[in-house]
Amino acid sequence: MALQLNLLHEEITAQRQRQRDPLKIGMMILGGLFAVLLLYYLWNAYRTLAIKSQLGVVERDWAKVEPSVTAAQKRAEELNNIIKTTRTLDEYIDNRFYWAPFLQIVSRCVAPNAQLTSLDGGVAEDGKSVSIVIDGVAAGREPRAAAEDLRQMLLEQLGRAYSDVKVEFRGLEDLDSIVSVGGANLAMARYSIGVTFNPTAPKAGASAPPTGREKKR
């Protein structure tokens, strides 16, 4: 049997030991991790630079359109204020009480033997109540009855146009004066009538307020 001598045995053994050295293996692993972390850092740095670049583009674009946007916002606020003011005026106009229709109704209710001497009234701040005082004189064989006819006529006619109508005497007294109406001498009475109502139209189907004669029945 031939003998083989390995003269490099010691060197080969030393090389193998060096290759299996744990410290060297650990250094190699750490080196690999460092390389991975370096690549990750470089990637994030690249992404950060790209985001900053996009942000710069957006900021430049915003600087160009910001004056227009600010002006548009101010204009929108002005238009909203105009709209609010217009709505307030519309509500005021819609809820406003007009005296002309009321006076027209009163004029239709005054008979030839009745006369108005003064009319004073006002509208509540909320616009939901109107109060009026009508003073005048009535003539007839029974002047108090003539004044009562006027009161009933006002209650009936106003009840068709407004809601919550109340027409009541504040004062009614006979006078010593005599007046000639149609060639006849008639006695006179002074009356003061208080009228209150809501200027809104009565609800559909609502009946007119009862007159004094209807209450007596």
pLDDT along the chain (217 residues), means of 10: 57 66 74 90 91 89 87 91 86 78 92 90 85 93 92 94 93 87 84 93 64 45
Q: Give yes or no: residues 35 and 141 share one domain.
A: no
pLDDT for 214 = 45
pLDDT for 77 = 92
Domain endpoint, select from 77, 96, 115: 96
pLDDT for 5 = 54
pLDDT for 145 = 92
Residue 11 maps to a domain? no
Domain that includes residue 31, residue range:
25-96
Using the structure block, give the residue that is written with the tokens 């985001």: 51
The number of residues in the chain equals 217
Q: Give yes or no: residues 74 and 164 share one domain.
A: no
Q: What is the Cα–Cα distance from 55 to 59, expressed in whole angstroms?
A: 6
Q: Give yes or no: residues 40 and 80 share one domain.
A: yes
Nearest of 113, 112, 110 to residue 134 by alpha carbon: 110
Cα–Cα distances in Å, from 98 out to 93, 136, 153, 155, 204? Answer: 10, 23, 20, 18, 21
Residue 162 maps to a domain? yes
Domain endpoint, select from 96, 118, 151: 96
The CATH number of residue 176's host domain is 3.30.70
Q: Give yes or no: residues 200 and 104 share one domain.
A: yes
Q: Is 2 helix (H, G, I), strand (E, B) or coil?
A: coil
pLDDT for 108 = 92
Answer for the pair 114, 150: CB distance below 8 angstroms, yes or no: yes
Domain endpoint, select from 96, 129, 152: 96
Q: Give yes or no: residues 175 and 74 share one domain.
A: no
Tokens of 74: 């101010």
pLDDT for 19 = 60
Tokens of 193: 């009538």
